[in-house]
Amino acid sequence: MPVSERVRVATLPLLLLVASLQVAIGQLIADPEPQAVVSTKYGDVLGHRSNASDRVRVYEGIPYASHARWQLPEPPQPWDGVLNGSESKTRCIQVKADFPDMMAHVPQSEECLELAVWTPAAGQQREELPTVVYIHGGGFAIGSAYDQDKSLFANATDTVVVAMNYRLGVFGFMAHPDLADQQTNFGLHDQLMALKWVKDNIAAFGGDPDDVTLVGYSAGADSVLYHLTWNESWPFFRRAAAFSPSTGFRPITLAEGLVIRGKGFEEAMGVESLEGLMNASATSLNEASPSSMDTGVCQCDPSLPEWRTALRQGGSAAGGGGGGGGGLRGSTGVVASAPSDYSFDDKRTTYRDFPAPVIDGDVLRFTTPLQAMEAGDVARVPLLLSSVSEETQWWTRNMSSSSMTEDMFNKTMLQSYGNETGARLLATQYSRGQTDGWLRAYARLLGALSTNCWTDLMMRSHPAAAYLLFFDTVTPTMEAMNASGAYHGMDMDYLFATGHFFDMGKFDDQDWQISNHLWELSRQFVRDEPMVVPQYADTNEDFRATLVIDRSDDPVRVEKAGMVEYFGCDELAVHEGEGGLVEGSIHQLPFAPRIPFAMPPPTAER
């Protein structure tokens, strides 16, 4: 063979190698993440590297369901090509809140049933990692899957994280007598559909479909507890964690909702039928809707509108909890319908039942999750509950200390609880030891009665392993805002380390240490590893092990009844019985229907 020919033959593999490298380099330039496309049951989706962690890939705007207004969700329509959801993501239409809109850049839409997935490095190799499904908060009125970047959490805990949008406000929780089967709780049905999507698709993202932990904050925490009591949800998760659930608010019953919410919304909108509401624009429905984010919804005159007084003081209701009637056990009940002469004024300011979950006898079968736990009718899965030291201080932050006097305190308690003797007893008990005035006593009491003390009761009643976390961390930035404790939601700032109430630049070494502790606690919980805090049920009644997190010299520690003693929960455990005031548990207090606690009008004075 001629030398020149031998050279050509010898160099051919080299030329092919160079050519293949050129093609590969060209592909890398055109597509820097060739492994970013994941195939779901409905189509391909494109992911991108997280801005917060280059070890995490994010997939956004993935449709998990489709729906028509006030109908149950259906599986999404398949799509062709590769979906880049980061360019088309939306959030569900929602009311305006009284604080900055952190997600203003994400457009709102009535067609919003989508989710996002955060996959750490191991998951990108298709390892089956524990899956965390997160339900956002926002009073069932605001929020989205994109409220916090979950990248740092996913990377630190080595979990695949999913967060979904779900229908909010009137779109998610309408109740109307003319809807098919008087269906309601559409937002909770959306969440269940997302869990089903996870079961069918999360393995493609590196998650284990049979190892799902359901996590929620605020309204999302309420949702987690509702799924604990809704047996249709049970096959889709193995653990649950609820941060700051507001279980001291009683959802309205279906009978109440059909009148107050269904017909009431017709009157507020100026229409006479369900068809009129169906034909209304999403914007007009949203503008007519009251919000759980509204801090001025109740005035401090104890003479309530007749329909609300009747709701609080009436007889038993259809669709109540667990075969025990519609009211809280041992308390006043609720009526099956509102008075016929209720009305809404032209300015729509007296329609104040903000749309939220409904006791419908299906999704919600009990007045409170606590009743379901006491009946043993809940998913028997490990449960982590958490609350913060100042659950309601954010909503009282604009009030001056002089706006709350002892007389105003008692009137406010009357509005929320309706029994003069009980309200005055609560006021007297909870003012003891208070040195910061009646406003401080008021804020702490509302936190105890809406969240903190109920958390203790659920810990003692849950029929499986239960762990309690109490968060009392206040950053220097929040101290500058006169925060005397951890605001509602501040623990989420540390769990996801993305900032919400303060600039991330304000995080110091101790802040990062606290985030690391929360991440380690989460790693232990989602993997069924030994926890740094004992199970509540493994300790005696007096101890009630609580993992306290704050900025002290010992920032993460187990305390004896740390939260219970902080709020005096045992002292608050009274209710009105037939023979007068008797000892009982806090869930026997006559809580108002699910409306915000009564508050004085905000004032500019500090």
15/77 Cα distance (integer angstroms)? 47
Contact 308, 256 (CB under 8 A): no
Residue 305: its pLDDT value, please?
Answer: 36
178, two tokens: 């003319």
Please identify which residue in the block is written with the tokens 């509102």: 338
pLDDT of residue 209: 98
Distances in Å between the alpha carbon of 134 and those of 164, 197, 450?
7, 14, 22
Find the helix or strand (DSSP H, E) in which 245 lies.
none
- H/E stretch holding 20: helix 3-30
- Span 423-450, average pLDDT: 73
Asked if 245 and 451 touch (Cβ cutoff 8 Å), the reply is: yes
pLDDT of residue 230: 98
* Distance separating the N- and C-terminal Cα atoms of the chain: 97
pLDDT confidence of 538, banded at 50, 70, 90?
low
Mind listing the pLDDT tens digit for each residue in 377-396? 999 999 999 999 888 877 67
Between 221 and 344, residue with greater pLDDT = 221
* Residue 229 predicted with pLDDT over 50: yes
Q: Which stretches within 505-592 are classed as H helix? A: 509-526, 562-567, 569-572
Angle at 143 between CA 399 and CA 453, to 5 degrees: 55
pLDDT at 12: 39
123-140 mean pLDDT: 91
Note the pLDDT of residue 117.
98
Segment 266-273 shows an average pLDDT of: 90
Tens of pLDDT, residues 178-205: 999 999 999 999 999 999 999 999 999 9
Q: How far apart are CA 360 and CA 333, in angstroms?
A: 16
Residue 219 host element (H or E): helix 219-229
For the residues 284-297, what does the mean pLDDT come to?
A: 65
DSSP-assigned beta bridge partners for residue 548? 470, 557
The pTM of the full predicted model, rounded to 2 decimals, is: 0.82
At 417 the pLDDT is 58
Which pLDDT belongs to residue 498?
79
603: nearest Cα among 323, 400, 343: 400
List, for residues 340-358, the tens digit of each pLDDT value: 332 333 333 334 467 889 9
Residue 33 has pLDDT above 60, yes or no: no
Q: What per-residue confidence (pLDDT) applies to 562?
A: 77
Q: How many residues does the chain have?
A: 606
Check whether 17 has a pLDDT greater than 60. Answer: no
- 523 Cβ contact partners less than 8 Å away, ≥ 6 residues apart: 156, 157, 158, 529
Quick one: what percent of the chain has pLDDT higher than 90? Answer: 43
Predicted confidence band at 398 (pLDDT cuts at 50, 70, 90)?
low
Radius of gyration of the chain (CA): 26
